[in-house]
Homo-oligomer: A and B are copies of this chain.
Amino acid sequence: MSQFKSTSRLISFVFLAAIGLLTSPFLLAEPTTPVNNAVVPAAIEESAVLLRERALLDNLSVDIVESLTTEVGPRRIGTDGDKRVIAWAQAKFRELGFDRVWTEKVDLDRGWIRGEAHAEILSPYPHDIVLTALGYSIGTNGDLVGEIVEFKSLEDLEAVPEGDSLKGKIAFVSYSMRDYVPQPGESEMAGYGKGTGARGRGHVVAAKRGAEALIIRSVGTDNNRYAHTGSGYGYVEDTKKIPAAAISPPDAILIQNMLRRGKPVKLKINLTSEITGPASSANIIGEITGREGSDDYLVLGAHIDSWDEGTGAIDDGAGVGSMMAAAALIGQMETRPRRSIRVLLFAGEEIGFYGVRAYFAQHEGDIPQHLLGAEVDGGGGRIHTLTSGVGEKSVPVIQEMYKLIAPLGIAWSDANDAKGASDMSVLGKAGMPALNFSQNSNDYFDYHHTPNDTFDKIIPEDMRYLTAAYATMFYMAAELDIDFRQ
């Protein structure tokens, strides 16, 4: 059941030979657990290999990101860009030959206007400061002036007794993700998690100590003069609402150098951010309908929203591009796979999984029909490790399928604890079998949530590798008659 024309095979062979895969050590990489029964029929395996090799040559995923970032650009939930992307995504699914395309409403309880953000050090040395409001921060209602008090971490700020000791002050959490060294057993991304604490609830902790505003050193790995925005967890009742903003790493260092001189450092902040009323958005879904109908389906996820200062190329244009392309490439095969493949483009991930939570509320009863799921929300880098999250009996099947993507430089993890990345974890935790494709993070947190997240940061060859891995695995999973829950 070779589904491509014979020229594809030749091209594929030449390509694999050219990139050295045929003789590369990757071909020797075997799953660490022995697989006793080959469960993938030879015809499916043959088609999967051709699909993989075609995907490695196909620029579709990159072209989709180019289209998204050029024709839409920033698309924070509730904005005009969000409206435009809902139209764009439906049109793109249709253009790519998806059989069914639809949207599902997502209610947004509150909107937000970013407005302008200006700050300057007034003394001891005048300087402009690059900062950005954290998502859903209130504005400053004119100029807010205060002396900066530095805390090395959120924990240090929390150690201050509640009360009014920070009255008139601006609390500054200077924790640096760039300088964080993961502890034994921690993932390389542990430094991000630590940074999101102050970003998410630092303003509440600071307000309980009397502070007038919170600033944090941006949560990122770069030393560019951009501030990284991101979502706060919102305000809580009975605690004063104070503005919250991130400053660029070079400005954080500048302020620390001033503080080291022992003189008071006075900062003026002006944010015109504003929380607004309810709005609505949508998840957009495209389906390659399986030849056995669309009652059961595999799901590939990404989030369609982005932050609003860049064009959302790596976060999460790369996910949108690779997931749409992986399914579209399967859709370009001669026949439809046995099972349907749905691409779920979730709204409002950036402000707290709004889209997937709406999806789950509507589809909680349908979880058994979700046969297998995965999501890309870590940029356009290559995959380094595959982890399954399936029933015990299915693990050898996934391992057998995995052999076809091992030549892409992907290792196997025995953990079998995958829940699906990002949005998809909501469905994974509810029982959907999942695969986690861990990606090389490359320079992801250099650009993440900044004006610098733009199309030129996409590395086309990496995107093709990424897309090929998903296409190959999900094609096989869609062909096989297997219940991955077992």
Contacts of A226 in B (CB 8 A): 225
Known contacts A224-B224, A225-B310; decide if A254 and B454 are in contact (CB<8 Å): yes
Docked complex: A93-141 residues within 8 A CB-CB of B? 124-127, 130
Q: Are B73 and A456 in contact (CB under 8 A)?
A: no
Q: Are B66 and A456 in contact (CB under 8 A)?
A: no
With beta carbons under 8 angstroms apart, the residue of B70, B72, B249, B452 that contacts A225 is B452
Q: Are A223 and B457 in contact (CB under 8 A)?
A: yes
With beta carbons under 8 angstroms apart, the residue of B66, B69, B224 that contacts A452 is B224
Q: Are A253 and B456 in contact (CB under 8 A)?
A: yes
Q: Are B70 and A258 in contact (CB under 8 A)?
A: yes
Q: From A253, which residue of chain B is reached at the shortest CB distance?
A: B456
| A6: interface (CB < 8 Å) | no
Q: How far is the CB of A62 from chain B (nearest CB, A)?
A: 12
- A294-325: contact bitstring with B at CB < 8 Å (1 yes, 0 no)? 00000000000000001100000000000000
Cα of A224 to Cα of B443 in the assembled complex, Å: 13
Q: How far is the CB of A249 from chain B (nearest CB, A)?
A: 7
Cα of A451 to Cα of B69 in the assembled complex, Å: 24
With beta carbons under 8 angstroms apart, the residue of B73, B124, B223, B253 that contacts A127 is B73
Q: From A453, which residue of chain B is reached at the shortest CB distance?
A: B225
Central interface residue in A226, A249, A450, A456, by most chain B CB within 10 Å: A456
Q: Are B455 and A73 in contact (CB under 8 A)?
A: no
Cα of A226 to Cα of B456 in the assembled complex, Å: 13
| A183: interface (CB < 8 Å) | no
Further 16 A-B residue pairs, CB within 8 A, beyond A69-B254, A73-B126, A254-B455: A70-B125, A70-B257, A70-B258, A71-B124, A73-B127, A80-B126, A127-B311, A223-B457, A225-B310, A225-B450, A225-B452, A225-B454, A249-B456, A250-B456, A254-B311, A257-B455
